[in-house]
Amino acid sequence: MAMTGFFPLLWWSLTGACAVGGSVYLFIEYQAYLLRTSVSSVPGGLRFQSHRFSVESRTSAKQLVVQTKGGHYVRQPLTGGDEQVQTGAQTVTFDAVGLRMEVFRTLGAVEGEEKPKETGFSTVYFKTSDELTQQARGHAASERSELRLDHVPDPIAREFAGFANGVHDWIAKVERRLAADVQEKRQRAEDEARAAAAAANAALGLDDPAVVLSEAEREARAAKQIALWRQAAGFTGAFSKVSIDPRGQIEWFVDLDPAGQVTLHGGRRTFHGSLKGGRLNALSTELEVAVRDESWTPESPQLVAFRILLGAPAQDRLVWIKRLAAAIT
């Protein structure tokens, strides 16, 4: 009789143990599912996939598409208009040019301890501005936007950071190609304009050193060159300063737009572009402005320097220092 009662008890014990074990296994599997990530090839790009969000690069369209079950998206027009805010599940498409992705671990304060502790979660940011694209068109930046993903488990954040590094390399190549295309277009326009100006000067005899130019002729010749530069740059600065020699040739020139675009000429070189990331030095009798030309990259961050305002009054140089410093920052 004792054995008769033992077998049902054993059966129920085994059943209970299997149920508990199965529940534990399913719980562990579910937790692993929540942290699982993958990177796969898709037509025309790569896709990072996690339970919380996915990011897909589209090479031909030069875009990145983010799908998330919960995010905070903010779009801020820079030329006026209301800020747009969207939260929750959403799909956001970013242009690759100007996009940066960042991952930060979330820290929490612990009572009684000075240093914050890691929470096991991170925050992922997608930040972008159309500054580079608009600069290529000769316009000022018109908007910036940001998508923030909070409470991302650290294992997923680490995997995504590795994926983002590879995407950043691709973005850098796209941006260098854009800069090269812009520079090629500008150079072609300048070459054509210079050839036309040289032909016109030859017809008028202005290139003959024996011909003495009047002040008006010198200024007219310099004005033609400045007009060609402004045409190539795609903008006309609100503030400009120039120095010309007796033949009407421009020794140095600066044409500044308050949005940060500038044309610089000096030492037989000309630059059209942004002052962002540049450097300003005030010398004893002139200013030195160093800028990022088309050859600049994060791996090769050399700046190209132009010296301007030689011979200008000290008060004028001080005014220009303030203007240029404001545009650089």
- Report pLDDT digits (tens) over 27-44: 454 444 556 889 998 888
Q: Identify whether residues 261 and 138 lie together within a single domain.
A: no
Position with higher pLDDT, 11 vs 171: 171
Q: Identify whether residues 163 and 209 lie together within a single domain.
A: no
Nearest-angstrom CA–CA distance, 88 and 133: 29
pLDDT in tens, 140-160: 778 899 999 999 999 999 999
Sheet harboring 269-274: ordered strands across? 239-244, 250-256, 261-266, 269-274
Per the structure, the count of domains in the chain is 2
Q: Identify whether residues 119 and 48 lie together within a single domain.
A: yes
pLDDT in tens, 191-233: 777 777 666 666 555 565 656 678 888 888 889 889 988 888 8
Contacts (Cβ under 8 Å, ≥6 apart) of 210? none
Contact yes or no for 152/124 (Cβ under 8 A) = yes
Q: Residue 109 carries which side chain, given as an amino acid letter? A: A
- Structural domain includes residue 72: yes
Torsional sign, CA 145, 150, 154, 160: negative
Q: Identify whether residues 243 and 322 lie together within a single domain.
A: yes
Q: Identify whether residues 216 and 175 lie together within a single domain.
A: no
Q: Identify whether residues 99 and 44 lie together within a single domain.
A: yes
- Structural domain includes residue 306: yes
Q: Say what the pLDDT of residue 150 is.
A: 94
- Structural domain includes residue 196: no
133 pLDDT above the threshold of 50: yes
Q: Identify whether residues 143 and 212 lie together within a single domain.
A: no
The single-letter DSSP state of residue 51 is S
- Structural domain includes residue 104: yes
- Structural domain includes residue 13: no
**Coil, helix or strand at residue 140:** coil
Nearest-angstrom CA–CA distance, 25 and 31: 10
Looking at the whole model, is its pTM more than 0.75?
A: no
Q: Identify whether residues 172 and 45 lie together within a single domain.
A: yes
Q: Identify whether residues 81 and 158 lie together within a single domain.
A: yes
Token pair for residue 246?
Answer: 């007796």
CATH number of the domain to which 280 belongs: 2.30.29
Determine how β-strand 53-58 pairs with β-strand 63-77.
Answer: antiparallel
**Domain that residue 317 falls in:** 205-328
Task: Place 184 in a pLDDT band, splitting at 50, 70 and 90.
Answer: confident
Q: Say what the pLDDT of residue 82 is.
A: 83
- Structural domain includes residue 59: yes
Q: Say what the pLDDT of residue 30 is.
A: 42
Strand partners, 41: 46
